[in-house]
Amino acid sequence: MRREQAGAVRAGRRAAWIVPGGTGTGLVRLWVMLMAWLLLVGGGMAQAQESGPPYPPVLPGKALVFPQDFGAHPDYRTEWWYITGWLRDAAGVERGFQLTFFRVRTRIGEDNPSRFAPRQLVLAHAAVADPASGRLRHAERSGRAYPGLVEALEGRTAVRVDDWFLAGGDSTQAGYRSRIEAEDFGFELDFTPDRPPVINGREGYSQKAPDPLNASYYYSRPQLAVRGTLRLDGEPVAVSGHAWLDHEWSSEILPAEARGWDWIGINLADGGGLMAFRMRDHDGRALWAAASTSARDGSVRIHPPAEVRFEPLRHWRSPRTGIEYPVEWAVTVAERRFRLSPLMDDQELDSRASTGAIYWEGAVRLYEAGEGAEAEVGGEVGRGYLEMTGYAERLRM
């Protein structure tokens, strides 16, 4: 149930590290300020310059309707489409990939007839985890919404920042298509769902913290079959695999006492899906947690905070930043115990030079585990993504 908040925090995480530190040159700093503000949701926005109606609150009892809710919800403060997954090429090499489109309503210039008015911003972020190179390749694009160029359309999934796009969701059966071209990588992928969306929380209302105002609307698309091409160095190669899509929109996110979170989205080998997260406070204790499990037949089970537990097993220290991340976990969801193990240790995303964010986001394998932390590990039961934020510094909200 609480996982939804994680997505919201994802947006915030980048802002978190940068603002206090102030990195590098003035240009970067300003850029970061800008990004920080764009992505930061929560306090400090009460500015005289705000224009247009206020952000609508996220309230329970509003059923999600598809395909409309596949599209953008421009009235809300933030929104994202978040795809993570595993790819395998003809040679059998497996890699992780991630692609996110953020939409932010700024409440700036809503009274401005200019098409350039920065009413809505769209930001995209993509990364590939390649064990052969031992690091993440990542890139980003951002822009103010401008018809035909930078968009987050309503009615179906259609987000674009220049030549990067994610489109699809014309119906609950329809697939998605995306294309990313960055300097040192690129991919062009088709995503095909085998089931209707998994509605998280209460009919899509997903609480993020003890205060019910910290919530989002949230659905997931587990078990998307992926087919397409991936370019790392040289020519694009054919790849296939499975992916996970989260779509979430909200107006209020993190509570002040949150420091960071740990989130997983796993496609299970049996065709099911597992999403779980926990929100940590400043002492590293769980502030909130939630999970949903779904089965191939479309049945969904929502887990309350009490049923979700994250326990770190092994730590890895980044040689770049000196930050220590728990890269292996024992995760308990209701009666099942799992063990998480990364595709590679170094999946830290250090983008201080551009956006300034430092976090860990990477491909992981999920194993069945017995009772107790030291229980022996069973076979692999799924693959997906782990995201960890708030290990570098306190979130500054």
Partner 1 sequence: MQRQGARPVSVPLRRLFLASLLRRRLASALSLLAIALGVALGLAVHLIHGAALDEFGRGMRAVAGKADLQVVGARDGFDEGLFVTLARRPEVAAASPVLEIEARLPGREESLRILGVDLFRVLRVQPGLMPLADGDGDDLRFAALRPGVVFLSEDAHQRLSSPGRSAAGEALPPALADARIAVQSGVRSLVLEAGGRVPGASGVLGVMDLGAAQQAFGRIGVLSRIDLRLAEGVSPSAAQAALSALLPPGIALRAPEAAAGELGSLSRAYRVNLTMLAAIALLTGGFLVFSTQLLSVARRRREFALLRALGLVRAELMRGLLAEGAAVGVVGGVLGVALGHALAAGAFRLVGGDLGAGFFRGVAPQLAFDPAASLAYLLLGVLAGIAGTWLPARAAAAVAPARALRAGEGERAGLPRGDGRGRLAAAMLVLAVLACLVPPLGGIPVGGYAAVVFVLAAAILALPVLARFVLPLLARGRSATWRLAHARLAAAPGQAVVAGAGVIASVALAVSMAIMVNSFRVSVDEWLAQVLPADLYVRASVASGSGYLDPQALAAIAATPGVARVDTTRLINLRLSDAEPLFSVLARPAQGNWGLPLVSGSMEPVVGDAESLPPAWVSEAAADRHDLSRGSRFELPLGGRMQAFRVAGVWRDYARQHGAALIESRDYVALTGDDRVNDAALLLAPGATSAAVAQALRERFGAEHITIALPGEIRAISLQIFDRTFLITYLMEAVAVVIGLFGIATTFAALAATRQGEFGMLRHLGFTRAEIGRLIATEGALTAGLGVVAGLAGGAAIAWVLIEIINRQSFHWSMELAVPCSGLTIFAVSLVMLAALVARLAGRHAMRQSAVLAVKADW
Q: Which of residues 152-211 bind partner 1 (CB under 8 A)?
A: 162-163
Q: How far is the CB of 8 from partner 1 (least distance, A)?
A: 17
Shorter beta-carbon distance to partner 1: residue 106 or 206: 106
| Residue 286 touching partner 1 (CB under 8 A) | no
On whether the CB atoms of residues 244 and 268 are closer than 8 A, the answer is: no
Shorter beta-carbon distance to partner 1: residue 66 or 146: 146
The HSE-up count of residue 2 (CA atoms within 13 Å, CB side) is 27
Q: How far is the CB of 333 from partner 1 (least distance, A)?
A: 37
Whole-Å CA distances, 48 to 34, 117, 133? 18, 17, 49
Q: How far is the CB of 47 from partner 1 (least distance, A)?
A: 6
| Residue 393 touching partner 1 (CB under 8 A) | no
Roughly what angle, to the nearest 10 degrees, separates helices 3-21 and 26-39? 160
Burial of 203 (0-12, 13-18, 19+ CB in 10 A): middle
Q: How far apart are CA 52 and CA 120, in angstroms?
A: 12
Within 8 A by CB and 6+ apart from 147, the residues are 115
Q: How far apart are CA 389 and CA 397, in angstroms?
A: 14
Q: Which of residues 16-55 bind partner 1 (CB under 8 A)?
A: 26-27, 29-31, 33-34, 36-38, 40, 43-44, 47, 49
Using the CB atoms, write b or e for 184-198: b if 16+ within 10 Å.
ebbbebebbbebebb
CA-derived radius of gyration, the chain: 19
| Residue 149 touching partner 1 (CB under 8 A) | yes
Closest residue by Cα to residue 142 from 176, 108, 112, 101:
101
Q: How far is the CB of 73 from partner 1 (least distance, A)?
A: 21
Q: How far is the CB of 26 from partner 1 (least distance, A)?
A: 4
Shorter beta-carbon distance to partner 1: residue 12 or 273: 12
Burial of 225 (0-12, 13-18, 19+ CB in 10 A): middle
Shorter beta-carbon distance to partner 1: residue 39 or 291: 39
| Residue 144 touching partner 1 (CB under 8 A) | yes
Using the CB atoms, write b or e for 145-170: b if 16+ within 10 Å.
beeeebbbbeebbbbbbeebbbbbbb
Shorter beta-carbon distance to partner 1: residue 37 or 66: 37
Shorter beta-carbon distance to partner 1: residue 148 or 322: 148
The number of residues that bind partner 1 (CB under 8 A) is 35
Instruction: Label the pairing between strands 205-207 and 215-231.
Output: antiparallel
Q: How far is the CB of 271 from partner 1 (least distance, A)?
A: 40
Shorter beta-carbon distance to partner 1: residue 195 or 352: 352
Q: Which of residues 81-110 bind partner 1 (CB under 8 A)?
A: 106, 108-109
Q: How far is the CB of 84 from partner 1 (least distance, A)?
A: 25
Shorter beta-carbon distance to partner 1: residue 108 or 274: 108
Q: How far apart are CA 63 and CA 65, in angstroms?
A: 6
| Residue 146 touching partner 1 (CB under 8 A) | yes
Q: How far is the CB of 114 from partner 1 (least distance, A)?
A: 4
Residue found by looking up tokens 């991340």 in the block: 325
Contact positions vs partner 1 (CB under 8 A)? 26-27, 29-31, 33-34, 36-38, 40, 43-44, 47, 49, 106, 108-109, 112-118, 121, 142-144, 146-149, 162-163
